[in-house]
Amino acid sequence: MQNAPAVIVASARCPTQMQFYTPSSTNLFVRYLSREVDDDRLRAIFSAFGNITSSMVMRDIYSGQSLGTAFVRYERHEEALRALRDAHGMPLLGKTVSVQWAKQQHDGTPAGQERLRMNKLFLRNVPLEVTEEDLVDLVNSYGSVRKVTIHNDTAPFIDATERRRIVFITFAEQGAAEAALRAVHNTCAFHQCRGIPL
């Protein structure tokens, strides 16, 4: 799908304002998902159409609740096209799913084997009381931790009493960051999380 034509869509904020973008050839944007659809269920549903290199339900950064949207990327254009044709309009848990091409600009996000080569894990919503040692204990079963850096989260918070941190954890082994992400993403791994998942 080289030199794909631009897609014209009406802006959700202002339907009379048109936006132009070049569509991806393998990455799909899925809307109107039930809040019950998690990453595993999303992958199980969309793997029927082909080999998925990456997929993720989008979540609110404060609550961890599903936003009802997701991205699903396939190895080949034909697989993504099959999913687009067959899944668009599909009823799922009381909702009608909408599937469209994602923007081509998102194609640069690492996926598949390229993603496994990444050795840095990013965590958000880490409670202030959590120490570097706590973080190493949380993820060291997935690989050897080389470095942990803890930073203040600069995202605006709804409640100032819920200040959190962001953390970068660098592993020695390839694939360790991905394994750790799958294990701790959207979990309240520490009792200090107080219901706000990582």
- The full set of domains in the chain, from first to last, is 7-109 (3.30.70.330), 118-193 (3.30.70.330)
Give the best-scoring range by mean pLDDT among 116-125, 158-167, 186-195. Answer: 186-195
- In this prediction, residue 162 has a pLDDT band, given cuts at 50, 70 and 90, of confident
The average pLDDT across 125-145 equals 96
Of 128 and 112, the structure prediction assigns the larger pLDDT to 128
Task: Say yes or no to pLDDT of 16 above 70.
Answer: no
Decide: 66 and 39 in contact? Cβ < 8 Å.
no
Q: What percent of the chain has pLDDT over 70?
A: 80
Give pLDDT tens digits for 113-131: 555 567 899 999 999 999 9
Average pLDDT of every residue of the chain: 85
Q: Is the dihedral of CA 38, 43, 48, 50 positive or negative?
A: positive
Give pLDDT tens digits for 50-88: 999 989 999 888 788 899 999 999 999 999 999 999 999
Beta bridge partners of 57: 70
B/e letters for 100-131, b = 16+ CB within 10 Å, e = fewer, are ebbebeeeeeebeeebeebbebebbbbbeebe
- In this prediction, residue 104 has a pLDDT band, given cuts at 50, 70 and 90, of confident
Residue 110 makes CB contacts below 8 A (sequence gap 6+) with 117, 118
